[in-house]
Amino acid sequence: MGCFQSKIPHQLPPPPPPPPQTNSDLDGNGEQQAVPAFNEFSLAELRAASNGFSTDLIVSESGEKAPNVVYRGKLKSNRVVAIKRFSRQSWPDPHQFVNEAAMVGNLRHKRLVNLIGCCAEGDERLLVAEYMPNDTLSKHLFHWEKQPLPWEMRLRVAYHIAQALEHCNAQGLKIYHDLNAYRVLFDEEGDPRLSSFGLMKNSRDGKSYSTNLAYTPPEFLRTGRVIPESVIYSYGTVLLDLLSGKHIPPSHALDLIREKNLLLLMDSSLEGQYANEDARELVELASKCLQYEAIDRPDAKFLHSAVAPLQKQEVKISSH
């Protein structure tokens, strides 16, 4: 698939130091709290936790087509959480919302940002999840301040997402919505996790969906629906993000791959960090994921098996 000019140095530069521990999941003795069981919260509880949904506590605000706001909040138990508040029109049926939230909330995995609660009171629809203090993949990949995201961490992101998706598939949750660099967050230890928010349909009628993806799967453009294979396509776009360090249209990336212009695809800041064969493996996997026909894409189990051998070195994300 063409030649790279990069070689692995004898010793990689030292990884950035792990972030200082926060109290987001620590009790008074500094011990790690277990993830609590899923719970229905009252609107009053979540309003108090977010200081009246204060704009000062907004950590994410996105989505013209499917608008939502995420707040940093603190429950009465002192647990710091992320509270996602949907637009009033997103979930007209409160029973559908609670049932779906409970199904996702029963899912637990170390690679997921676990969902711990919801609220469906009046017109309000809110989700409550673990709080991740070290920002999103988008921030570290596209808007870094100190140093670009190391190659080994990019491989770790690909691996952890694949692990999370395989687990979701095994538990019967095969559809994940809007997988992109904003859905990957870094926990207090600097490890990447996949947001559980993407497991919720955000569907007005249970069939059609809104999306905030820049590059949508072909079948969504044709039908307005997503299928289990759609997340594989989106995983391929995330691999392109990791390889290139920028947003790149899948059609352009596939042209570069077919023409064997792989150096034009790779992030120049990664020079000297990766083995040629590892980069080729990831490029080839991205190409398989981005196939136009859903039936030609691999499944989540294949993703896991493909990226697992590339894991070599422990690195942590630097805190901001």
Other Cβ atoms within 10 Å of 292 Cβ, number? 13
Catalytic pick from 178, 191, 267, 278? Answer: 178
Report how far apart the first and last C-alpha atoms of the chain are (Å, whole number).
38
> Does residue 178 have an active-site annotation?
yes
Residue 67: C-alpha distances to residues 15, 23, 35, 91, 135 (Å): 36, 29, 28, 12, 20
What gap in Å lies between CA 51 and CA 152, rounded to an integer?
39
CA atoms of 22 and 24, how far apart (whole Å): 6
Residues with catalytic roles: 178
